[in-house]
Structure 1
Amino acid sequence: MTKTKLLLAAGMALASLMSAAQAQAATREVDIGMETFANRCVDQGGVFAADMPVLTCLVASVQVDCTFLDTHYAECSWPGIDNRVAVNRLIGMADASTLSGGGGSAGGKGGGIDLPDFPIKWK
């Protein structure tokens, strides 16, 4: 009897965790035009809908909703993880600075290979 209750409790906990993971939504601010969003949606075989200022694209694996704050600036959201292939094809990849967490810029000091301090003799 105790074993049955334990298995039932574990099953309920696992089911609640799985449903909570699917309920989370990923979001990204993107610099994309409305027409570009619509064209990419259609090019991927998605179903496009416009309810201004929200444009929606439903592709085979995910629905992406973009609220356009300007003609070329949107806040997009979709269910699931941030880095989905279908989403990246639709709205583009996130900026490298947001992926790395740093605020570095291209050029300047940083990155590359640090050479050792001892002399290297080439033959």
Structure 2
Amino acid sequence: GIGPFVVGPVIEKKIGLASFSQMAVDADWRDAAWCERRGLYAKVVPDVAALDQAVDAQAATLAAANPEAMAMMKQVFWAGTDTWDALLAERAGMSGSLVLSEFTRRAISSFKGK
């Protein structure tokens, strides 16, 4: 009875409108490979040990990088998000109104009965 209105702008920015739309409208589970192909995950690893190793390696790379360059890159990556405070508040209002709707109340009641 609701949609991914609040998290949507961040996910859309990361994976693009087409992939976000596909994921939002057809809300079936997406596996890690799907997420990696669309850029939601940078890298998929086989187990926790490999994840720990990959995180340590990435952290070391980032820690060695020029902080000023990294700050500038973040500005580039997040360009166009300066109005997000208002956008996210508007989207939260959408979610709130849907949560209070009769349709959503019935859907939630059906889950409670299971």
TM-score by length of 1: 0.22
Which gives a bigger RCO, structure 1 or 2 (Cα 8 Å, sep 6+)? 2
Structure of larger gyration radius: 1
Per the normalisation by structure 2, the TM-score is 0.23
Larger % of strand: which? 1
